[in-house]
Amino acid sequence: MKVFKKYNINFVKAEASGNDFIIINARDKRIRNRRIDYKKVAADLCRRHYSVGADGILVLEPSKKADFKMRIINSDGSEASMCGNGMRCSALYASRSGWGDELAVETGAGILYVTVKDGLIKVKMTTPADICPEVTLKIGRKMFKVGYVNTGVPHAVVPVKNIDTYPVRKMGRVIRNHSYFAPRGTNVDFVEKKDRKILIRTYERGVEDETLSCGTGNVAAAVMMGVWGEASSPVAMTTKSGEITKVYFGIKDGKVKEAYLEGRANIIFEGGV
């Protein structure tokens, strides 16, 4: 049976902690020399049940500054500057493609470095910035205290009780669109410290829903727990997918100096559209 290809693009589907992506190798001349509207492609291909389905697409392009450039385009067609789990997926793809196991990657948040070794992928993340341990938000008649940190993209970190039953989608949407974070909005991470474990669920801007994991969110929440004195590096973060990722960071004189995200990623399948 002949398969009709709408875009004539080959891709790889990959995931890290359940955060799934469609990877397009735009270093390939056959792709690079075409004018492709990736925002339109993302909005189309990321539709679950009706297309490939994913949280976003990763477009890997040539770079004059690094081994390659990674563009992150969310399922709604918006473009993000950074994605920790996307970096893990891209690094695994690059390693298996023979691009190297120690890679410099150009992103919208700067050049980041990643190592692939023994199945683990460790990303040196953007240095956390704009840290505010306590932000007070008025939502309806209630006042919410949250933390805020930018780990390449903005994140509000919200401590909660009973995270398994917490209305993440409802409250995530409200906080993501709160006037305090206008006009860009923010990602929202809900965290609970339970039996020495740090549990996390994330509502992602651009996906506009809860995802099974968010790399920059894991880093944001771990760092904020460190700032609050609730955890120390390395922090094991238990994600919605059940996978545990590790976050390493250094705090000196109340400032975060560096941060790393470590975990596994998987290539699910290859295809064409």
* 206: CATH: 3.10.310.10
The predicted-structure confidence for 239-268, as pLDDT tens digits, reads as follows 999 999 999 999 887 789 899 999 999 999
Give me the mean pLDDT over the 34-61 stretch: 96
CA angle 153, 38, 24 (to 5 degrees): 90
pLDDT > 70: percent of the chain: 98
Does the structure show a pLDDT above 90 at 177?
Answer: yes
Can you tell me the distance from the alpha carbon of 210 to that of 267, in angstroms, rounded to the nearest whole number?
Answer: 22
Domain co-membership, 138 together with 214: yes
Distances 177 to 129, 203, 206, 268 between C-alpha atoms, Å: 21, 11, 12, 33
Within a domain: 3:
no
CB atoms within 10 A of CB 63: 16
Predicted pLDDT of residue 4 = 54
Within a domain: 168:
yes
Within a domain: 4:
no
Domain co-membership, 113 together with 154: no
Domain co-membership, 17 together with 112: yes
Domain co-membership, 92 together with 60: yes
Does the structure show a pLDDT above 60 at 127?
Answer: yes
Can you tell me the distance from the alpha carbon of 141 to that of 89, in angstroms, rounded to the nearest whole number?
Answer: 42
Q: Are 206 and 56 in contact (CB under 8 A)?
A: yes
Write down the catalytic residue from 46, 89, 132, 214.
214
Predicted pLDDT of residue 171 = 97
Domain co-membership, 62 together with 95: yes
Within a domain: 61:
yes
The predicted-structure confidence for 10-28, as pLDDT tens digits, reads as follows 999 999 999 999 999 999 9
Domain co-membership, 243 together with 118: no
Within a domain: 5:
no
Write down the catalytic residue from 46, 83, 89, 132.
83
Q: Is 132 annotated in the active site?
A: no
Domain co-membership, 121 together with 136: no
| Domain boundaries, position 67 | 10-125+265-272
Predicted pLDDT of residue 2 = 52
Does the structure show a pLDDT above 50 at 1?
Answer: no
Number of domains the chain is built from: 2
